[in-house]
Each structure stands twice: as structure tokens, then as C-alpha cells.
Amino acid sequence: MGNRVMLTLLLCLCSTNLLPSALAIWLTLPGTGTKCVSEEIQNNVVVLADYVVIPNDPSHSPSIAVKVTSPYGNTLHHSENTTHGNFAFTTQETGNYLACFWVDGHNPGGGQVNVNLDWKIGIAAKDWDSVARKEKIEGVELELRKLEGAVEAIHENLLYLKGREAEMRAVSEKTNARVAWFSIMSLGICISVSALQLWYLKRFFQKKKLI
């Protein structure tokens, strides 16, 4: 029984690697232009992110502008003339969430600007220290609670992927049906045109008394 429990925990630990839960990204922004990061996220998922400008020259502190938008174009976070910040939200839509960064003109040194972005999603965004203090749990019990949350997240991801696969299958079947009907219609038109051509040629030759 103990070996079975350990095997289950090991599998859960391995499964957490399948979750796109945390991303540490290093962005190099050009002097002019925008660089964006996107992530496809399901509905009702917590997103936390921290960003900070890493100056090449300590005497100059370039500033940037940040804008985060939802799949439907709603602005979730917008900040200008900043060197660091964070944003947090719970997704209301399923799709690609976009975080765009650009130098907003306050760049005394000119050139490129480096930004470090720490992007956390779902289970990785949960404040486990607060949970441990509130529920007075620690050690193995806390790790088990984390694994439980990871399993729930994996289950939700599997349901989401299953739904997307069903939608794609429905679209594929609908497209195949339309193509089949179009092919049948095209064949019917070709047969009708051929029959009309034969009828016209027959009448033409009959009028000319060639047949």
C-alpha cells in the first residue's frame, strides 16, 4: 500500500511538469517598437506577474510602458513611465492573453532595454504561505495540498483539451460535409451542362440536316 501511495505521488510530481504554470522570461526591448508575450489560458484562472527593468548602466534608469490585454481586447493592465511593476487578474475569457512592453521615450542612454518578467499561472500563482498559515498545515501535508491542486489543474486542462478537440472535430465534420455537397453539386452541374451541350449540338445538326 505504501509503495502504491509513493508511486501515485511520484506520478503527480511528474505530471506537474505538464502544466504551463510559471515562466521566467528575459526580454530585450528595442529602442523603438514593441515586444509582446502571449499565453493561451483557460477561463477562471489566476494570473500573477512581476516585471522589472534591468539597466545596463546603473546611472541611467530607462522607463517602459506595459499593456496587458485579454483575447477580446479588454485592457487588464496599463502602466507608463515605469521601471518595475506587477499585475494580477483572474481570467474571464479563454484564449491568448497578451502582455506588450515598449520603451516609452524616457531612455536617457538610448538603445535596447532589458526587462525581466516573472509570469505565474494557476497553481503556481497561489499563495501557499498564506494557505499554510490560515489552515495551520506544513511539511508533507502542505506538499500533498499542492499536489492536490496540481491534479485538479491537470484535470481541468484535460477537460479543456477534450472540449477543444470536440470543437475541432465538429468543425472538421461540418467542413467535410460542405465539401461533399459542393462536389455533388459540381458534378450535377457538369452533367447538366454536358447534357445541354449534347442536346444543342443534336438540334444544330438536325437543322443543318447533317443527321
pLDDT digits (tens, 9 = 90+) for 106-150: 666 667 888 999 888 877 666 556 656 666 666 677 677 767 777
CB 103 within 8 A of CB 42: no
Arithmetic mean of pLDDT, 188-199: 91
What Rg value do the Cα atoms of the chain yield, rounded? 30
CB 72 within 8 A of CB 114: no
Q: pTM for the full model? A: 0.60
49 strand-pairing partners: 87, 119
DSSP letter, residue 136: T
